[in-house]
A and B are shown apart, each in its own frame.
Chain A
Amino acid sequence: MHAESKGWFSTLFVKLTEPLIFSKRPLTLTVLTLMTVFLGYQALNLRLDAGFEKQLPKGHPYIQVLKKYQDQFGGGNSVLLAVSQKPGKGDIYQGRFLESLKAATDAVFYTPGVDRTRISSLYTPNVRFLEAVEGGFRGGNVIPSGFTPNEASLAMVKDNVSKASIIGRLVSNDQRSAMVVSELVDKDPRTHRQLDYIETAHRFETIRSRLLKPTLYELKLKEDYRGIKSGTLVATVYDDPRGAFSRFKRYTTSVRNSDGDVTEHKVPASKLQVFASDNPEFNPDIDVEIIGFSKVIGDVADAALQVTGFFVLSVVLVWLVLSYYMGSLVVSLYPLSCGVLAVIWELGILHLAGYGLDPFAILVPFLVLAISVSHGIQITSFWLLEVADHGLDSFAASRATYRRLVIPGITALVTNIIGFGTILLIPIGIVQEMAINAMFGLLAVIICKKILLPCLLSYATIKDPQRFRDFQKQRDAKLKPIWNGLAVLTNRPIALSILGGFGLLWLASGFVARDLQVGELHAGVPALKPDSRYNLDSDFISNNYAIGVDILQVYAATKTNGCIDYDVMNRINRFGWYMQNTPGVVSTTSLAGLDKVVWGQYNENNPRWQQLPRSPDGLILAGQQFTTSTGLLNDDCSVMPMYIFTADHKATTIDQVIESIKRFDTDGRAPADLKLELAGGNVGVMAATNDVIKKTEFTVLFWLYLAISVCVIASFQSIAGLICVVVPLAAVSVMTYAIMVFLGIGQTVATLPVAAFAAGIGVDYGIYIYSVLEENVMSKGMPLRQAYADTLHQTGKAVIVTAFALSASVATWMLSGLQFQIDMGILLTIMFMANAFAALLMLPAFASILMKSQPIPVFARA
């Protein structure tokens, strides 16, 4: 892409490598094929990586505190399943509804991974109503055993519900929805393995189907299979399992043998027969909402996998763009297939290096495809030029292409690698892995594009070179007026007004970009789309129940048995009261706050008793019912988290709340042995992440632009070149900030790498254009306007096609179910296009001001 490769190193490199590759082409191809088979096999073994730990900015003090206490507060991993009457179907006190609620409760009870002792719903015996009566308390089950629905018994249930104080928790505020709350165990009690959250999420999804799908499908064995009797029911599903690829699915069934041991078998669908019947539990009047940590993981994983399907679409789009450019659907298959091969290599290397596929990693293959295609365009177009215009045979043309392009190509890729390397500065595991992954991809691109593609092209033939040439000429003639028109930009007055225009746009963008927010702006789980099923469910539950989903945890760390020390508890209680009065805080929950309420309840429910008892005995009594599984205290009662429920998780809210917390301890009244440590909860993690983004944004951009600048200066040895290439990039990045404000996208760990990818890849356009322009002006002595028109004639088409090819490969992310993938797709698409147009428009304008025409006497070139 650059000017001709010069220098002793490049000459030596080409001299050494060219015979190595081209003298024994069959051997080269065999080696590459074997490598592909090996890496392809590796790639097939790539597993979805649910290591969600690495999404945390692990070096941040908040996260270190979180890690320190995480193990002490196991539990808290609940799944909330709400069964709700559809609008217009009345309240929950109806026989049919309660039947569905009972079915849901039973289904949750029998779900593997659920702690059966910690399920609560109206149907579980642990949910009781309790009244303070003369001389003590009186209580009972909300729904008594042997309940049969009739008018009187339903009215009694309604009365019990109100006495049990569960409205807002197990019954919605408007009593049209009821909840089954369950806790998950950390380890599967049967297999002793870490609980598979994704599997668990799918099991809860099945419960939803079980209540909402009219038909059920039973899968029974057609014949005996591995000792399981024919006719055995292997699985019950609620979506028709007889789809296109259904034969390849396997169903897991567990069989208890005579010793009582349970073994699991995977049964292929081909051995099963499907029996459809009406689903007896189907209730058309209800809906089911499910939220919880493991459900989030399951939904994110499912959506992450979905995006792989869009890869095919990306490949097709890129193929179309390439075919348009090359004028041949077949020739374009060469760079395309090399691109796909690079992706296979990348995934193979990824698995070899011990990584898995996480939601960020899934995006990298798209980028690799984009980059390798943009290089493929150059290689193939140069080869076409040699074949069509210079009449070389395929083999000679390939060698010429290799000689000409291997060094500039590798230089450009190295620039890309450095650009991606700056992403490593973001101290979040998943993003760093993305950078490493992208670097693997670029290595794969170097081999696939620089070695394989010329090698393959040497076998390619063009059937009718003349027709092909005519087609190219015809199209070039059509584009000529556009290029000549753009060349007007080199007129100094027009150049100045263009630059002035861009300057104003830049200023305006900068002004708008001041409103750019750090952090997540949407409600619900930020990874998922606002209208995803999960976020709609979460929205429903937080609107209809007194349950908050944005939680900041502050750990009150004190001495052993701190929970029976009045001074400590009073301080924590004061902190809770302080936080309740902080804007952005909805409510707080802590052991100290609850002890106070419990003390009132123990004293005949008289609110005048709501004060922390001063004596240790009183504190023991008030707190005795709170076990460590509540997440309110640890084993030795030395750490007690304060749960702060915030109104939302916007960065401004989080900042305000955190600032307030820090101010609290400045009153000098804290007991010496009590420390408030930040932070846990989803809001705590976001606070840490936002902090990291704010701190690393400048560093990343600084090193990114420094690295690009060094590469550009190394290429052109001129300040004019630097300005011509880098300023348009910077302008586009500021304008992108403004676009983010308009689109309501906040600065997150997803958008930071976007800046690096866009600038790292986008710099190619400028380099490409400037290198030809400089050659035309400096070496060939053309006047600037003519030089630019000629430059565009040579490269303009390639630049635009590259922009479209790059955009095409990332635009499909917008179809993803994951919000950050959508955001990245939007921004990268915009930036890949904008960088091309900024380069085409701004570069000549800058050149007209900065580039000194130094017509070199003709004889000097001889």
Chain B
Amino acid sequence: MIVPTKLSLVAGLSLLVATAAAAVDIASTDGGAAAPASPAATIPALATAHAEKGLLLSVARAGDHLLAVGGNGVIVTSRDGASWSQVLTPIDLTLTGIAFGDANNGWAVGHDALILHTRDAGQHWEIQHYEPDLNAPFFAVIATSRDHAVAVGAFGLMRQTTDGGKTWTALEPAQVVDEKYHLNAATRLPGDRIAVAGERGLVAFQTSATEWARSTTPYDGSFFGILPWGDAGAIAYGMRGNVFATDDLAKGAWRKIDVGTLGSLFGGEVLPGGAVALVGADGQMIQVSRSGASQPLAPSINVAGKSSSLAGAVVDGNALIVAGELGVYSVPLR
């Protein structure tokens, strides 16, 4: 052959995307307006050779091994954080969160209000909840025991189970869901109380098993995550490097923490000793000590020409396992 057909040099087209100047805030206008799609038959996730290199959004520990969930219905598992293998799931939607109530029982949540459940530490998964007509994704799940878990998602979506997932019921505490803000994250505070964070600086927390309270934060943008901060406090993080912490959630005296980045922070984890690791856009990883001082935890994970946001993290011995758009990485902790 002399010459191929036209070289359509479209590589990096994905990057074109970022130059689109359409400044539309769709997130809060879509949803209910769209015509409900009929729930299609579920399609099992594809078994792939390198699922650990795809989009992964959340990592968790179950007994002696690690699990990560992400795009295309992928769940991968590893014993050492280095080599990963895919576990088959009954559906190929993007999974956003994973949590375990004990060593064997856990949940993974995702788009189309999907909740998957495992009884064998993540080797097999079954669908417990799936409502595509809601047109809303779950973003996080928190389990306090093998029976009790809470899942939160877009447009104030909240579901709870107290029977190991046999039934999932709607939770509608006005302090949390009134404005139908996206509930982007949830965390488990000391005493098995749950806190959620979301749009417009939303932070709410359980004051008892049934009662919820809203904390007024000084931030008006989106929080993408929340973690415990000391015994009674919380640290919330979100868009463009905005991080706020309070030592007492009930009192709610928030202070801004300067983390030295304008990149959004999408995930985090409490480190041994109470400091937190925050991860986010451009593969950034930041450590915030209890004093409020921050420093890079490790060099950013970047591959030229690719978007490399991180969204999930979990501690594994002396390493932090982080997950994001380029897959899962193990980062040594000092």
One of A70, A165, A293 near B15 (C-beta < 8 A): A165
What residues on B are CB-neighbors of A566 within 8 Å? 37, 40
Min CB distance B262 to A, Å, is: 8
Whole-angstrom CA separation of A591 from B48 in the bound complex: 21
One of A525, A601, A681 near B18 (C-beta < 8 A): A601
Whole-angstrom CA separation of A776 from B32 in the bound complex: 100
What residues on A are CB-neighbors of B71 within 8 Å? 577, 596, 610-611
Among B5, B13, B14, B24: residue with most chain A CB under 10 A:
B5
Interface string of A348-368 (1 = CB under 8 A from B): 000000000001100000000
What residues on A are CB-neighbors of B307 within 8 Å? 165, 597
One of A526, A602, A680, A686 near B26 (C-beta < 8 A): A602
Please determine whether A685 and B1 come into contact, CB atoms closer than 8 angstroms.
Answer: yes
Stretch at the interface among B77-85, B143-151, B168-176, B220-228: B220-228
Please determine whether A137 and B21 come into contact, CB atoms closer than 8 angstroms.
Answer: yes
Please determine whether A685 and B5 come into contact, CB atoms closer than 8 angstroms.
Answer: yes
Among A127, A525, A608: residue with most chain B CB under 10 A:
A608
Determine if A848 is an interface residue (Cβ-Cβ < 8 Å): no
Determine if B281 is an interface residue (Cβ-Cβ < 8 Å): yes
Whole-angstrom CA separation of A169 from B9 in the bound complex: 10
What residues on B are CB-neighbors of A547 within 8 Å? 9, 11-12, 305
One of B2, B11, B30 near A618 (C-beta < 8 A): B30
Min CB distance B282 to A, Å, is: 8
Please determine whether B27 and A78 come into contact, CB atoms closer than 8 angstroms.
Answer: no
What residues on B are CB-neighbors of A133 within 8 Å? 221, 239-240
Whole-angstrom CA separation of A596 from B70 in the bound complex: 13
Determine if B127 is an interface residue (Cβ-Cβ < 8 Å): no
Determine if B324 is an interface residue (Cβ-Cβ < 8 Å): yes
What residues on B are CB-neighbors of A608 within 8 Å? 57, 94, 96, 137, 139, 184, 266, 311
Min CB distance B21 to A, Å, is: 6
What residues on B are CB-neighbors of A570 within 8 Å? 43, 92
What residues on B are CB-neighbors of A749 within 8 Å? 1
Please determine whether B8 and A607 come into contact, CB atoms closer than 8 angstroms.
Answer: no
Please determine whether B137 and A624 come into contact, CB atoms closer than 8 angstroms.
Answer: no
Min CB distance B311 to A, Å, is: 5
Interface residues of B in 54-77 (CB under 8 A from A): 54-55, 57, 71-72
What residues on A are CB-neighbors of B304 within 8 Å? 167-168, 172-174, 545-546
Please determine whether A624 and B1 come into contact, CB atoms closer than 8 angstroms.
Answer: no
One of B23, B27, B221 near A134 (C-beta < 8 A): B221
Please determine whether A684 and B15 come into contact, CB atoms closer than 8 angstroms.
Answer: no
Determine if A820 is an interface residue (Cβ-Cβ < 8 Å): yes
Stretch at the interface among A187-195, A214-222, A251-259, A548-556: A548-556
Whose C-beta in chain A lies nearest to the C-beta of B13?
A589
Determine if A615 is an interface residue (Cβ-Cβ < 8 Å): yes
Please determine whether B11 and A594 come into contact, CB atoms closer than 8 angstroms.
Answer: no
Interface string of A120-144 (1 = CB under 8 A from B): 0000001110111111111100000
Min CB distance B33 to A, Å, is: 7
Min CB distance B148 to A, Å, is: 23
One of B4, B96, B305, B324 near A681 (C-beta < 8 A): B4
Interface residues of B in 260-307 (CB under 8 A from A): 262, 264, 266, 281-282, 304-307
What residues on B are CB-neighbors of A845 within 8 Å? none
Whole-angstrom CA separation of A850 from B13 in the bound complex: 69
Interface string of A12-29 (1 = CB under 8 A from B): 000000000000000000
Determine if A150 is an interface residue (Cβ-Cβ < 8 Å): no
Determine if A621 is an interface residue (Cβ-Cβ < 8 Å): yes
Interface residues of A in 602-629 (CB under 8 A from B): 602-611, 613-618, 621, 624-625
What residues on A are CB-neighbors of B209 within 8 Å? none
Please determine whether A607 and B23 come into contact, CB atoms closer than 8 angstroms.
Answer: no
Determine if B309 is an interface residue (Cβ-Cβ < 8 Å): yes
Min CB distance B267 to A, Å, is: 9
What residues on B are CB-neighbors of A169 within 8 Å? 11-12, 15-16, 305
One of A164, A567, A614, A684 near B112 (C-beta < 8 A): A614
Please determine whether A617 and B305 come into contact, CB atoms closer than 8 angstroms.
Answer: no
Given that A127-B19, A527-B3, A581-B50 are contacting pairs, would A545 and B12 also be in contact in the complex, using a CB cutoff of 8 Å? yes
Determine if A292 is an interface residue (Cβ-Cβ < 8 Å): yes
What residues on A are CB-neighbors of B334 within 8 Å? none
What residues on B are CB-neighbors of A578 within 8 Å? 46, 48
Is the contact region of chain A dominated by helix, strand, or loop, or is it mixed? Answer: mixed
Whole-angstrom CA separation of A72 from B129 in the bound complex: 43
Determine if A795 is an interface residue (Cβ-Cβ < 8 Å): no
Please determine whether B19 and A128 come into contact, CB atoms closer than 8 angstroms.
Answer: yes
Please determine whether B51 and A605 come into contact, CB atoms closer than 8 angstroms.
Answer: no
Given that A136-B23, A603-B27 are contacting pairs, would A78 and B1 also be in contact in the complex, using a CB cutoff of 8 Å? no
Given that A132-B239, A133-B239, A608-B311 are contacting pairs, would A66 and B13 also be in contact in the complex, using a CB cutoff of 8 Å? no
What residues on B are CB-neighbors of A603 within 8 Å? 26-27
Interface string of B146-186 (1 = CB under 8 A from A): 00000000000000000000000000000000000000100
Min CB distance A692 to B, Å, is: 10
Please determine whether B6 and A525 come into contact, CB atoms closer than 8 angstroms.
Answer: no
Min CB distance A546 to B, Å, is: 2
Determine if B211 is an interface residue (Cβ-Cβ < 8 Å): no
Determine if B322 is an interface residue (Cβ-Cβ < 8 Å): no
Determine if A241 is an interface residue (Cβ-Cβ < 8 Å): no
Please determine whether B132 and A546 come into contact, CB atoms closer than 8 angstroms.
Answer: no
Please determine whether A168 and B30 come into contact, CB atoms closer than 8 angstroms.
Answer: no
Min CB distance B106 to A, Å, is: 18
What residues on B are CB-neighbors of A645 within 8 Å? 11
What residues on A are CB-neighbors of B22 within 8 Å? 137, 624-625
Min CB distance B107 to A, Å, is: 16
Whole-angstrom CA separation of A126 from B184 in the bound complex: 33
What residues on A are CB-neighbors of B92 within 8 Å? 570, 574
Please determine whether B40 and A567 come into contact, CB atoms closer than 8 angstroms.
Answer: yes
Interface residues of A in 632-646 (CB under 8 A from B): 632, 643, 645
What residues on A are CB-neighbors of B12 within 8 Å? 168-169, 545-547
Please determine whether B5 and A594 come into contact, CB atoms closer than 8 angstroms.
Answer: no
Determine if B93 is an interface residue (Cβ-Cβ < 8 Å): yes
Min CB distance B315 to A, Å, is: 21
Given that A581-B50, A625-B20 are contacting pairs, would A630 and B37 also be in contact in the complex, using a CB cutoff of 8 Å? no
Interface string of B232-268 (1 = CB under 8 A from A): 0000000110000000000000000000001010100
Whole-angstrom CA separation of A820 from B13 in the bound complex: 33
Please determine whether B46 and A574 come into contact, CB atoms closer than 8 angstroms.
Answer: yes
Whole-angstrom CA separation of A605 from B22 in the bound complex: 13
Please determine whether A589 and B10 come into contact, CB atoms closer than 8 angstroms.
Answer: yes
Please determine whether A430 and B2 come into contact, CB atoms closer than 8 angstroms.
Answer: yes
Min CB distance B236 to A, Å, is: 14
Please determine whether B264 and A684 come into contact, CB atoms closer than 8 angstroms.
Answer: no
Whose C-beta in chain A lies nearest to the C-beta of B37?
A614
Please determine whether B7 and A682 come into contact, CB atoms closer than 8 angstroms.
Answer: yes
Given that A167-B304, A608-B96, A820-B2 are contacting pairs, would A669 and B15 also be in contact in the complex, using a CB cutoff of 8 Å? no
Whole-angstrom CA separation of A578 from B43 in the bound complex: 14
Min CB distance A52 to B, Å, is: 5
Interface residues of A in 572-599 (CB under 8 A from B): 573-574, 577-578, 580-581, 583, 587, 589, 593-594, 596-598
Please determine whether A526 and B1 come into contact, CB atoms closer than 8 angstroms.
Answer: yes
Please determine whether B137 and A611 come into contact, CB atoms closer than 8 angstroms.
Answer: yes
Interface string of A174-190 (1 = CB under 8 A from B): 10000001000000000
Given that A136-B23, A680-B5 are contacting pairs, would A546 and B11 also be in contact in the complex, using a CB cutoff of 8 Å? yes
Whose C-beta in chain A lies nearest to the C-beta of B7?
A293
Task: A135-B221, A685-B1 given; name 14 further pairs at CB < 8 Å.
Answer: A137-B23, A291-B9, A293-B3, A546-B15, A553-B8, A567-B40, A578-B48, A601-B17, A606-B266, A607-B55, A611-B94, A615-B135, A616-B35, A685-B4
Interface pairs (17), CB distance under 8 Å? A126-B19, A132-B240, A133-B221, A165-B307, A169-B16, A173-B305, A581-B46, A581-B48, A596-B71, A601-B20, A606-B266, A607-B309, A608-B96, A614-B135, A616-B35, A645-B11, A681-B5
The 8 closest A-B pairs by CB, nearest first: A168-B305, A546-B305, A682-B4, A173-B304, A615-B34, A76-B8, A134-B221, A581-B48
